[in-house]
Amino acid sequence: MWQQLLKHREALLAGVIVLLVLAIGSRVPSFISPVSLVEIFNDTAILLILALGQMMVLLTKGIDLSMAANLALTGMIVALLNFHYPQVPVWMLLCLSSALGLVLGMINGLLVWMLGLPAIVVTLGTMSIYRGCIFLLSGGGWVNANQMSADFLGLPRAVLLGLPVLSWCAIATVLLVGYFLRYSRTGRALYTAGGNPTAAYYTGIDAGKMQFVSFCLSGALAGFCGYLWISRFAVAYVDVANGFELQVVAACVIGGISTMGGIGRVSGCLFGALFLGVINNALPVIGVSPFWQMAISGTVIVIAVLLNERGNRRKGRLILRNAALARQKQAVKS
């Protein structure tokens, strides 16, 4: 029973999301209007992008708890640049925030790869460092909407084919990460590095290097979201997205991404983020207390972890397994 349930996890999660939306819509009809559904997806866009970055780290048996701090630091930097130099094009600030995020991710990756430090310890440390850097840059001050240019604020809100640009950014990220993990050699190596380090060794894959690559990618996506977050909410300060990394990890866990590495799909990550997005938007609509919202979200996460533990009993995804076995047999014969 459990195996059948886990086998169709994404379809089950999608069904739960649909039923939840319909149930809320039966009480509040405006909740299921096209405008409302678009807004819910738009509210979930940043969570989804960050969850995809976190997923790649989790696939290699790592975890990145500094993503929200990375987002806040890169967002503050581009907000200050826009305030002092409003003539700088927005696309250049967007590229800069992604590049800065990549550098911050590289710091995490190098500490984990080259020094062999636990990822959770490294990213807890860099999370505090990045938050401290925000305070040093801003002096504890805020950058508000009236200090940002119209172009800086307008890009994520611009509507293209009925959807805001922010939503299109999330859709594009889903497609790119999905293609990368499924069809690229490096993407498949991320699964192998976390799912079966022995197979990775025999096929010439450096598990530590793959962790480094995953931290770089997650950092770049966090930096990309740095601009998107600040522009969407029109404010930059020290505690931006404080604690949001827990929501990101929760979206991955709910979507079936194993914290033990090597197991997970982009579709699961997508539905995990959408589930939290619907929950976060639905509960206030029906008047549920914020404390109950936290309790409900926590209960869902615990259930998801239990399901994941059941799933971890089966074998993870083994890429190039036949090649590894062939090399082992050849070594025995020689």
Task: Annotate the chain with three-state secondary structure.
Answer: CHHHHHHCHHHHHHHHHHHHHHHHHHHCHHHHCHHHHHHHHHHHHHHHHHHHHHHHHHHCCCCCCCHHHHHHHHHHHHHHHHHHCCCCCHHHHHHHHHHHHHHHHHHHHHHHHHHCCCHHHHHHHHHHHHHHHHHHHHCCCCEEHHHCCHHHHHCCCCEECCEEHHHHHHHHHHHHHHHHHHHCHHHHHHHHHHHCHHHHHHCCCCHHHHHHHHHHHHHHHHHHHHHHHHHHHCEECCCCCCCHHHHHHHHHHHCCCCCCCCCCCHHHHHHHHHHHHHHHHHHHHCCCCHHHHHHHHHHHHHHHHHHHHHHCCCCCCCCCHHHHHHHHHHHHHC
Q: Is the pLDDT of residue 241 over 70?
A: yes
Rg of the chain in Å (alpha carbons): 21
Confidence band, pLDDT 50/70/90 cuts, at residue 45: very high
Q: Which two tokens stand for residue 151?
A: 């172009």
Binned at pLDDT 50, 70 and 90, residue 16 comes out as confident
Q: Residue 315 pLDDT more than 50?
A: no
Q: Is the pLDDT of residue 240 over 50?
A: yes
- Domain extent listing, the chain: 10-314
Cα 41 to the center of its chain, rounded Å:
15
CB 75, CB 97: distance < 8 Å: yes
pLDDT beyond 50 at 249: yes
CA 28 to chain centre: 30
pLDDT at 289: 72
Asked if 143 contacts 215 with a C-beta cutoff of 8 angstroms, the reply is no
How far apart are the two ends of the chain, measured CA to CA in Å?
A: 45
Residue-wise pLDDT tens digits, 138-195: 888 899 999 999 999 999 999 888 899 999 999 999 999 999 999 999 999 999 888 8
101: which 2 tokens? 């995020």
CA dihedral for 7, 13, 15, 16, sign (positive or negative): positive
Q: What is the pLDDT of residues 70-127, one digit of tens each?
A: 999 999 999 999 999 999 999 999 999 999 999 999 999 999 999 989 999 999 999 9
The answer on pLDDT for 333 being more than 80 is: no
- The partner residues of 235 in beta bridges, in order of sequence, read 144
What CATH class does 10-314 carry?
A: mainly alpha
